[in-house]
Structure 1
């Protein structure tokens, strides 16, 4: 029996040895991998990235050796520590694969991408990036004729120190994730084979436009290869052919520049399906503008990179009009919004995430029972015990020791029951759009888990994650230091996992994510204007119960309180000029909306968090001036499909549901425009300094020109009352404001006396163009003066005379 046992054991050992050898030989070693791998990497858009935005990397790895399983990593220095972004890589023998990875690093100038296996670097590639300022306009050009549109870089934007950077792209450069496309402000498609774009890339472009981008699709001789593969949502004209013409009188009038004589021009022809025709050639549209979500899609019937447009003197005027009217990502009207956001988004939201509601206290009955138990044990209990053993002299020792044991036991039970809890705060902003199926979601997640050395947050899907600072420490430029401790690791893939180490143990571990949700519902508004009043109804067509609902603009608001799903509320409020120069989202939470006593704090403590959330939203450039009227409602329900709640303990969600709401200015034959609906856009800056933010526009050392565009042509209006409003900061500063109006018939400016509470325009025919545009030039009275305006808007009462004309909301006048 012993012999058989030894044989059996020997057989098992032999089989085990064979299995182990097979496994060892089948797995590639790090030594075998060395010299058999090669890696190339590209960053951003041809190496350009915007300061304050995440960086995407396209990596290609070729493996000539045995199979490799490892992690592709990008290490970034943030807040005096390291954050590692990684994704799993599997490379069979002889494989050459492409991978995409991102890093939420807004300062570094170079990145070292590494393939790691068993904590050892197998291969690496360093890439450098060119950082562009937040206020610079990035224009991506998709064209088979490289450098054909480089002349766009000569367009002078109205803002100070603003310029256009033209980046020539290939189809493969368009990311499938629209969030990674947000650094780009404008995309121009001209003489480009659009059939090379994959469906997910086209979907990404659509989502990017809805988020505030500008897409310009161009026709011309190569209209078929450029336009035929685009979906309807990205092409507001149904193109059917082309035509050759010798002149374009309307385009010359719109730009103020003549085209070269004797040149043949090829235009694509078609019928407009959406939007507004800005320039036409007979019945065929030449330039069409179509509002799409927060952004715009423009159609240009010619190829701007071909003759005679490639060297045309009117290019600057043409593209400046397109840029200023569409204002992509509000880079013109609020050029410094990105800078403000870059400085504040991490630190401001951190305060709200750390405001976790207190853990539930023990009930009064439990506290009374524990106290009674203490008294019984330390009093009669100790006395009876010592009496039984006849050792009452030991009371001075027994009673203190018993008290210490009781207090220690109470602390241990409390720590086990409550001290080990995980508290998670989730703040989300859902940006709904009327008539769109998808809504953008910005979520901020903060978890406090002091007894967990290592802690992980799991997210559904491959989401863009930004690690927020653990305190108010403001980081400086990144330094390549491998000795810095690791704050967090972001594992990218089918789902996303963020792992925090012991470094952040006693802080709130916070992250920010961006995603989208399908068919969240909408806010259905049926609103009308009556003088300076907004009336009508709004209906909550979401599946959420919304509380603290408000509809508002810069010049007024109405609280709607709570709205159940499907519930309708009546709207009736005035829009009026106020001298309180504070952002509107501050006034939403004030107890005294007009004036309040000196020293009185108008904000309730529970509203501070909501104000900070609104500040985050509006500092992202989604200001109410762009949307005219806004709806905001709040829910205490978490957005499904973003966060995996496993291990997150008690979750405290707070979600803001935000939506623009349209308003009808025409009732019967009557047109009423209250303040804040038609707002001035900056078209020219000659001031030494100009800054626009949530409190208005400030400039000095020269004039700034604004243009206000009515949604009606002049021929369809009989104006009864037209007021121009440009309220200054105070009555004292109003004395130093100089105002001029542009006379379209003569091409000259006429000075009018500035009135703080508004200027009545009596001879309005002189100052309204055929398209219904009004220009005003404002400057300080002295060369070293300074002007601070809340904004530029107008009010109007008129009769509408042409019922056959459809009012347009995007009509603009060329320069």
Structure 2
């Protein structure tokens, strides 16, 4: 790209410059009239429309920016003639560009048609739904003025229950100091989508008092895919535990559970009126143990709410049915706040609050980073160009002049200069042939996430053209497509009026054999980002499989490459620990015992990625080195994956790998285009944490509670200017034998070529329950035995630790803490 600009400047110096501009074009629409309803209907043309149209959107006419919004359209033919045309939905993206989504349709005489469409909406403010005839003449229009909260962030909660009205106590409750307000929507079996895109508008799905056997296999699969992408599933059990857990138990439960029984549940001392006993309720409960789960709310004897991380999302299972606490919650609505804040965590709720203002911009910047690395073959050989330029100056200047002077032919100097200039222009043009883009081209990054049953493909693409002209490309229609744009509110740009008559910037046509993207008024090299996703059955059982045990910081077991091709730069990531393998041949099984285990700082996904891909071995950037550029591209895509699709504390190991050869793009439906990019292969493997009758696990699987000071759970770091006290939950089910304080490995500290990581330095204090004081610990002590911990553990197996940073340290505003792990036996 940079070289093309240099070439054009050089050509301009030699008086050879050209440009091509294609003027904008469009078709004017009808005038619009406003009403006080959410939408208005219009008809353009003579006589009556041959088709009537009814439209609804979102969940109960509610929507959110930056999400897929479901739009339901009902068409009824009012003619004895068949009808064919196009359903067009016009939206304004967050960068204020106009996007049109076209769906071809046909109606039999007097027939009807119902379409449920998932429309990506950057600014969920207004949508226009238009019906066009076969000549692209507009017949009908619906204006959808969406109900979008602009003041308070909303938590969209879908409720799947046989008695959803009993959960009305959740509606409107403020969560996390009322920074987020709950908005509930009734779901039913028929409304449950069979693809994850249909759930994109929801933040939480609550299933309680419902038989999940009624869900189809595709519906259950879509829920899991939605959770993996960041959704939150909350399941109530109680007397109907068998029903609500049926569809999900194989992926959640560690062991069979006892039959439901009545138990006294402590709702919290803050709800006691006359004494502590007032806070208890007698409820039918089911004691469920989740595989890799952590307790969110608990009694002294059993967990009330347990959660487990799945991909970027999470699943929570309550011991009771949420309907059984309805009467209590209608009086004590703050319990809903307590429940959702404890389950979702302040970090996720704060992200929802910031999303109200930033929309989908964070994804834009992340995708831009992974698609900015270009093809090194397009880079010019600058030394050669320098020689040519100096040669031209020498020949066209003194060289030619002296040559003609000796021959006494100075009168031909001007003509000779023109000839030399044309010659060197041709040379420069030919030298730039391999660096010049001739047509629309792509950068892409593909993540292939493989499970036993499915392969989920997540592809990000950047489409550009080297000229100021319109272009059209065809994509595989099996992909779901989402434009990725940044919000213009950052620049304070006022939102333009959107009437539905504006000329489009991007038009997407959903055909049977292709999805066509047409862009007009395109500037040269103007990037257009899109996210593509697709799920396909894993018929050949491809992937990275294995049997892994993590115990006291060491890894045991095997990993096997089930792909029919070799993979390299294999990384196994789990609980802040990394195992790196150089390569695996097809079908090869590698034993993990004895391979070094690296502790990494969980707040630095780029550093972790660099360690896996090998880019950390390069002390400085060298864009002319193909090996460095390959490692950098791999680092960027892995860092994106860890940030967008993975959590550092989950019960599964993330296995990532790269192919030796460039994997060709899969998303194009036709056409010869230049493409550059790569694919990364990922799988998840359950991790065993037991060995010799003992259990060894991370104490950070449940984020510690900040007693005082500022703690950032997603990065295990603190604001270290003031002392910070954290309460760690070591598990009420464990007889603690050893506690480990683990620092990131030395290579992550101040190694050359890596970013600086500010590791905690200072004093560590344990709260002593016998004396009521904090006892200072030895700064060099990293392992504590159970007998040493007796005065510091509470009856619920919590440990309160105070961190006091060294006052002489710099940058104490963001300090990475040690990672705690615990070993013991089940009680």
TM-score (norm 1): 0.70
Would you say the 8 A contact 2:88–2:132 is kept in 1? yes
Mapping 1:429-440, distance limit 5 Å = 429-433=447-451, 436-440=452-456
What's the CA shift for 1:472?
Answer: 14
Counterpart of 1:545? 566
State the Cα deviation string for residues 734-758 of structure 1 (Å, max 9, x = none).
56x8866485xx8x97534477777
Partners of 1:36 and 1:440 lie apart in 2 by 39
Counterpart of 2:196? 178
Please state if 1:466 is matched with 2:476.
Answer: no
CA pair 413-188 structure 1, distance change in 2 beyond 3 A = same
Residue correspondences, number: 724
Of 776, 782, 789, the match for 1:764: 789
Of 132, 141, 146, the match for 1:116: 132
Higher mean C-alpha displacement, 330-339 vs 558-567 = 330-339
Mapping 1:736-747, distance limit 5 Å = 741=767, 743=769
CA pair 331-792 structure 1, distance change in 2 beyond 3 A = farther
Counterpart of 2:362? 344
Partners of 1:229 and 1:680 lie apart in 2 by 26
State the Cα deviation string for residues 134-160 of structure 1 (Å, max 9, x = none).
986443222343442244468776x67
CA pair 494-155 structure 1, distance change in 2 beyond 3 A = same
Partners of 1:760 and 1:648 lie apart in 2 by 61
Of 564, 571, 594, the match for 2:585: 564
Of 607, 610, 617, the match for 2:631: 607
Partners of 1:594 and 1:362 lie apart in 2 by 25
Of 602, 608, 611, the match for 1:588: 611
Counterpart of 1:454? 471
Of 596, 611, 619, the match for 1:573: 596
Secondary structure in 2 matching 1:148: helix
Counterpart of 1:794? 820
Please state if 1:304 is matched with 2:322.
Answer: yes
Secondary structure in 2 matching 1:450: coil
Would you say the 8 A contact 2:102–2:508 is kept in 1? yes
- From the CA coordinates, give the structure whose radius of gyration is larger: 1
Partners of 2:214 and 2:494 lie apart in 1 by 39
Of 201, 205, 209, the match for 2:219: 201
Please state if 1:104 is matched with 2:123.
Answer: no
State the Cα deviation string for residues 514-559 of structure 1 (Å, max 9, x = none).
2223226332344444644435432222344322222345755443
What's the CA shift for 1:104?
Answer: 2.5
State the Cα deviation string for residues 652-686 of structure 1 (Å, max 9, x = none).
3401223344444333255555xxx4415446567
What's the CA shift for 1:770?
Answer: 6.3
Secondary structure in 2 matching 1:304: coil
Counterpart of 2:71? 57
TM-score (norm 2): 0.69
Mapping 1:195-594, distance limit 5 Å = 197=215, 199-219=217-237, 227=244, 230=247, 233=250, 247-249=262-264, 295-300=313-318, 302-306=320-324, 310-311=328-329, 320=338, 324=342, 331=348, 342-357=360-375, 404=422, 420=438, 423-433=441-451, 436-450=452-466, 453-467=470-484, 479-481=496-498, 485-492=503-510, 494=512, 497-504=515-522, 506-507=524-525, 508-519=527-538, 521-529=542-550, 531-552=552-573, 557-571=578-592, 572-576=595-599, 583-585=606-608, 587-588=610-611
State the Cα deviation string for residues 581-620 of structure 1 (Å, max 9, x = none).
7853354279796997999x99944433333323322332
What's the CA shift for 1:358?
Answer: 5.0
Structure 1, unaligned stretches of length 5 or more? 1-27, 368-392, 806-815
What's the CA shift for 1:235?
Answer: 8.2
Would you say the 8 A contact 1:696–1:788 is kept in 2? yes
Partners of 1:291 and 1:516 lie apart in 2 by 21
Please state if 1:141 is matched with 2:156.
Answer: no
Higher mean C-alpha displacement, 621-630 vs 458-467 = 621-630
Counterpart of 2:667? 643
Partners of 1:702 and 1:570 lie apart in 2 by 44
Would you say the 8 A contact 1:705–1:775 is kept in 2? yes
Counterpart of 1:657? 681
What's the CA shift for 1:196?
Answer: 6.6
State the Cα deviation string for residues 476-496 of structure 1 (Å, max 9, x = none).
575344575533212235565
Counterpart of 2:184? 167
What's the CA shift for 1:311?
Answer: 3.7
Partners of 2:576 and 2:362 lie apart in 1 by 26
Structure 2, unaligned stretches of length 5 or more? 1-42, 386-410, 750-755
